[in-house]
């Protein structure tokens, strides 16, 4: 894995200082059902210079969940309640200074229409992640990207799923 730079970055993210961690935001890679996406793919999409990539300094997500339920850490973090500048990822404009972003591989059908394509193993892995980190961050709110942008991402109803897996109401973001 590439070494993370520990320097504060100037860029699109709001503010240049560390901020309290307030949200966990769930995303999909917006790729067709059953197609795997690698760490290298995400790094290229997000950080390659335009027009090949988005030209960002950092990827959009802290962790990604593969079809088999395994997890790749894209950006390291510690477990305190502060989003240090070196922990910041570019998942949702205006939210990055106070959020952690995670992503599952999939989210579209073969015609690139939004679809909840999570495998049972992805659901299980996401559930474990959400529960264990909510124990560490008992005050954060868990949301979908669609709460903060006019997008279908992550292609499932996050509030309903959180209820289903027994997440406390105070941790469920409702717009």
Which positions touch Zn ion (CB under 5 A)? 27, 145, 153
Smallest distance from Zn ion to CB 6, Å:
26
Q: C-beta of 90: minimal distance to Zn ion in Å?
A: 10
Q: How far is the CB of 114 from Zn ion (least distance, A)?
A: 11
Instruction: List the beta bridge partners of residue 25.
Output: 101, 143
154 preceded by a cis bond (ω within 30 of 0): yes
Which CB, 80 or 160, lies closer to Zn ion? 160
C-alpha span between 144 and 111 (Å, rounded) = 22
Taking the least distance from each CB to Zn ion, the nearer of 135 and 150 is 150
CB of residue 101 to Zn ion, shortest distance in Å: 8
d(CA 28, CA 67): 12
CB of 71 to Zn ion, least distance (A): 17
Half-sphere exposure for 71 (CA within 13 Å, toward CB)? 17
Respond yes or no on whether the N-terminal peptide bond of residue 51 is cis (omega within 30° of 0): yes
| Residue whose CB is less far from Zn ion, 130 or 153 | 153
Of 27 and 137, CB closest to Zn ion: 27
For the stretch 134-163, what's the b/e string if a residue is b when 16 or more beta carbons lie within 10 angstroms of its beta carbon? beebeebbbbbbbbbeebbbbbbebbebbe
Task: Output 124 or 151, the one with its CB closest to Zn ion.
Answer: 151
């Amino acid at each position: 894995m590439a070494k993370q730079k520990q320097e504060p970055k100037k860029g699109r993210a709001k503010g240049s200082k560390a901020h309290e961690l307030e949200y966990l935001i769930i995303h999909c890679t917006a790729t067709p059902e059953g197609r795997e996406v690698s760490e290298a793919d995400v790094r290229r999409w997000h950080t390659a210079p335009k027009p090949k990539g988005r030209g960002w300094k950092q990827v959009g997500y802290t962790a990604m969940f593969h079809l088999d339920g395994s997890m790749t850490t894209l950006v390291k973090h510690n477990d305190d309640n502060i989003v240090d500048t070196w922990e910041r990822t570019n998942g949702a404009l205006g939210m990055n200074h106070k959020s952690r972003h995670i992503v599952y591989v999939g989210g579209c059908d073969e015609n690139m229409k939004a679809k909840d394509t999570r495998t049972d193993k992805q659901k299980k892995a996401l559930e474990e992640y959400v529960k264990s980190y909510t124990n560490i961050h008992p005050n954060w709110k868990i949301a979908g990207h669609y709460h903060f942008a006019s997008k279908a991402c992550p292609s499932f109803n996050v509030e309903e799923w959180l209820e289903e897996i027994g997440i406390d109401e105070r941790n469920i973001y409702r717009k």
